[in-house]
Amino acid sequence: MVDRNQSAHAVRLHGRLFLIDCGEGAQVQLKRFGISKARLDNILISHLHGDHIFGIFGMLSTMALDGRTAPVYIYAPRDFASILKFFMAHFGEGIKYEITHIPLSMKEPQQIISFPNCRVEAFPLRHKIDCFGFRIYGRMARLPEERWASIAYVSDTAVFPEESEWLKGTDLLYHEATFADEHSDLAHRMFHSTAREAAQVAAASGAGKLVIGHYSSRYPDLNLLRVQAREVFPETYLSSEGSVFEIK
């Protein structure tokens, strides 16, 4: 929609920048909100539906125009290999930096990135095609005892039994909430979640905050989704273009 872009979430952590999903126009949104791609080395792609990946091609091309030489690591489902091959064959001539695809195929949570003060875990979701969630942990430096704070990204998925166990104690949970209560049948058929189900996961996993998104375009007023989620989990917030959530 004109005022709702497709999925793309930037995570800043200890001087690093991670991008989770790269929907159409993501590079324009990064520019609009003052986030430089120069430090973007790790891109996490949940699944190969267009609303989560169509923006990556333009962005990789612009990185080349910007004169990038640092490598880029793309964590994405296995089939991304053939997409990247096709892209490089037709549009890769000016790309002078290395693009490495790390395939995701885990059946349970697994660490995929590890730095001294941040790490990333990926875990399978339940969607129409292979799809993965991510949890990013950051070491909180200024506390007397060491603490690892975390955010989790869960989109797209129908809720599933292991979910709240895998997400235990997340400080900030982003969970898709494509549908409202009245369309819960459709949500299950399409392997998506309702706002209420997202809130139930947040409550069961003991999340600090819930941010919902990935709304169906059938709802012009998103308050409906917020109200239904808050009935279960009061600390629910709507994501919107450029919204920023800070974890301390």
**Which residues are part of the catalytic machinery?**
51
Shortest Å distance, C-beta 30 to Zn ion: 19
Closer Cβ to Zn ion, 49 or 126, answer by number: 49
Shortest Å distance, C-beta 141 to Zn ion: 35
Closer Cβ to Zn ion, 156 or 171, answer by number: 156
Residues that bind Zn ion (CB under 5 A): 49, 51, 156
Cα distance between residue 119 and residue 60, in whole Å: 24
Question: Looking at beta carbons, which residue is closest to Zn ion?
Answer: 49
Shortest Å distance, C-beta 49 to Zn ion: 4
Inter-CA distances, 179 with 46, 57, 200, Å = 19, 29, 14
Closer Cβ to Zn ion, 53 or 63, answer by number: 53
3-class DSSP state for residue 24?
coil
Cα distance between residue 104 and residue 121, in whole Å: 11
Inter-CA distances, 14 with 5, 146, 243, Å = 27, 15, 20
Shortest Å distance, C-beta 192 to Zn ion: 8
Closer Cβ to Zn ion, 49 or 68, answer by number: 49
**DSSP string across 120-134:** EEEEE--SSS--EEE
Query: Which tokens go with 119?
Result: 């790490």
